Amino acid sequence: MRIGEFSRRAGVSERSLRYYEQQGLLRPARQSSGYRAYQESDLRTVRHIRTLLAAGLNTETIAELLPCMVEDGGRLGPGCAELLPVLRRDRERVDRALADLATARSILDAMIAAPIPVTGAANSACEPVDAPA
């Protein structure tokens, strides 16, 4: 099938498909006319790519992992123990990012909860700001 139909069936944009191909994640066959010819198996590959992207992995890591990933009962997992250190490394990166976001939220919560000083003269640097609805 050609890229337009495949894009619809895969639920991703044609631009994403071209990007996956550019990154070496997807390798559709080429017709003699140069058009991409996707196979049913490419749908599974795109589904795996989307799962790994949703897990926060970058395309370089996905290129490393993808050939060794297996699907078991609709669940994607490593096909060998050698992938576990890579997956654990990325989970630790996500944990650090979550901790950083929790810190940022705490700081914002403290700012929001801080009392606004009441003074006789308005602060000239403060302009009324319309709060989003």
The secondary structure element, H or E, covering residue 71 is strand 69-72
Residue-number span of the structural domain to which 100 is assigned: 3-113
Structural domain contains residue 34: yes
CATH number at 108 reads 1.10.1660.10
* CA–CA distances in Å: residue 43 to residues 6, 47, 79, 99: 8, 6, 19, 35
* 47: CB partners within 8 A, 6+ apart: 10
Structural domain contains residue 122: no
Q: State the pLDDT at residue 118.
A: 74
Which amino acid makes up residue 122? A
Written as tens digits, the pLDDT of the chain (133 aa) is 899 999 999 999 999 999 999 999 999 999 899 889 999 999 999 999 999 999 999 999 999 999 999 998 889 999 999 999 999 999 999 999 999 999 999 999 999 999 988 765 556 666 666 666 6
State pTM to two decimals: 0.78
Single out the residue of 49, 27, 47, 48 nearest to residue 38, CA to CA: 27
Structural domain contains residue 24: yes
Structural domain contains residue 59: yes
Number of folded domains in the chain? 1
Structural domain contains residue 128: no
Q: State the pLDDT at residue 73.
A: 86
Say how many Å lie between the first and final Cα of the chain, rounded. Answer: 46
107's tokens: 């700081």
Structural domain contains residue 74: yes
Structural domain contains residue 37: yes
